[in-house]
Structure 1
């Protein structure tokens, strides 16, 4: 590939990403941790079904020992409803709200010459849950021994 072609591709990609902010395709990875509060049925199954509708069936669902993982293939931007996806993220956050906080990462990359916007969504347990830290009384630290 010539230098001119590479520069043109780079310029086109930057224009789509930074100026227009419109990718050619969308892709998603969502993790659904399961435990005694969040089983693989109920709201988690509903979220997986909605992801399947959003990505028109172009998803793979993996059963893991700690939960489910949903990975989509890149879907054309004109067939993807971004507002519906954002609403689904709000519902996923509400499902895991008492025990987890939702972490989301958006990444732009080029796959097969098309600009793809990828979302990685993972509910994460906090290191120090609020319920544990609030229930324990606070005591001043002892003075160091001399």
Structure 2
């Protein structure tokens, strides 16, 4: 499910724990710090590089039907909560979550989504930062 009302992606507990475990395993040199609610994994940002795609953290791939992959880069996966603290911007939705994953606003930011209601399809760009643009200055009238 996709939501512009939910600020951060919410995952059912078993999914959340698996993502958290895999993510932190791929970031072994980053110093973990005390979590800041509502997040479960936070890091000292001084040990994490940065690029135009955001913090230099592992890419999170969401495998969708028909071999489609939505890649989430540091800009959309991490949240700056304090001067030197970045948190993984995913939230534990509990064991009884009604939806296994709800993709939230932070993860949607600067991703162009196209809804084809007639065909019941969703198209997405992944991060517009690759195109050195954002949703705020994207040219919707361009044909290229």
Q: Normalized against structure 1, the TM-score is what?
A: 0.30
Higher share in helix: 1
- Bigger Rg over Cα: 1
Q: Normalized against structure 2, the TM-score is what?
A: 0.30
